[in-house]
């Protein structure tokens, strides 16, 4: 009689990816090749290369808060240094710093969201659940 074996699960092996590398590049945290975003800041539903379901990705407000704090300090410091060195009119500050702030915000927000999603994948983060067992 033949022995019964347990069903084999999908054993596809993907090399471990660097959280920082795939996050900053906007790539899939499992295969490192598929695109992470389908639009400017919206993650894809599933990786086109490896098929990873991205429904686990719940980055919340973490990346936005970090970008606001870091970028606010950087841009304010640069604007203050620019004012001290060149004494430009206010309209020139507006013309320079609004586009710079917008562009850097989008860049850093994409990177931080990517890093957050990659770290959630690597640590197998999931939504918390209550244990309702009667003990």
Q: What is the pLDDT along the chain (135 residues), one digit of tens a residue?
A: 444 444 334 446 889 999 999 999 999 999 999 999 999 999 999 999 999 999 988 888 999 999 999 999 999 999 999 999 999 999 999 999 999 999 999 999 999 999 999 999 999 887 777 877 766
The count of structural domains within the chain is 1
User: Cα–chain-centroid distance for residue 101?
Assistant: 19
**Of 101, 117, 134, nearest in space to 53 by CA:** 117
User: 47: burial class by Cβ within 10 Å (0-12, 13-18, 19+)?
Assistant: buried
Instruction: Report how far residue 61's alpha carbon sits from residue 68's, in angstroms, rounded to the nearest whole number.
Output: 11
Domain that holds residue 74: 19-122
Q: Is position 94 within any domain?
A: yes
In the structure encoding, which two tokens stand for residue 1, read together? Answer: 């009689």
Q: Is position 68 within any domain?
A: yes
Q: Is position 130 within any domain?
A: no
Q: Is position 66 within any domain?
A: yes
Residue with tokens 């069903």: 7
At CA 126, angle to CA 24 and CA 135, rounded to 5? Answer: 160
Q: Is position 95 within any domain?
A: yes
Q: Is position 133 within any domain?
A: no
Q: Is position 13 within any domain?
A: no
Q: Is position 1 within any domain?
A: no
The reported pTM is 0.81
């Amino acid at each position: 009689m033949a022995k019964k074996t347990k069903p084999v699960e999908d054993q596809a092996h993907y090399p471990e990816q660097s959280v920082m590398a795939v996050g900053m590049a906007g790539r899939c945290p499992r295969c490192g090749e598929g695109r992470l975003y389908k639009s400017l800041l919206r993650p894809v539903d599933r990786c086109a290369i490896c098929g990873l379901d991205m429904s686990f990705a719940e980055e919340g407000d973490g990346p936005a808060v970090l970008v606001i704090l870091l970028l606010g300090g950087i841009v304010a410091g640069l604007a203050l240094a620019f004012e001290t060195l060149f004494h430009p009119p206010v309209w020139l500050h507006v013309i320079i710093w609004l586009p710079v702030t917008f562009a850097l915000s989008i860049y850093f927000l994409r990177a931080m969201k990517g890093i957050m999603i990659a770290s959630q994948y690597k640590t197998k983060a999931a939504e918390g659940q209550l244990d309702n067992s009667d003990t």
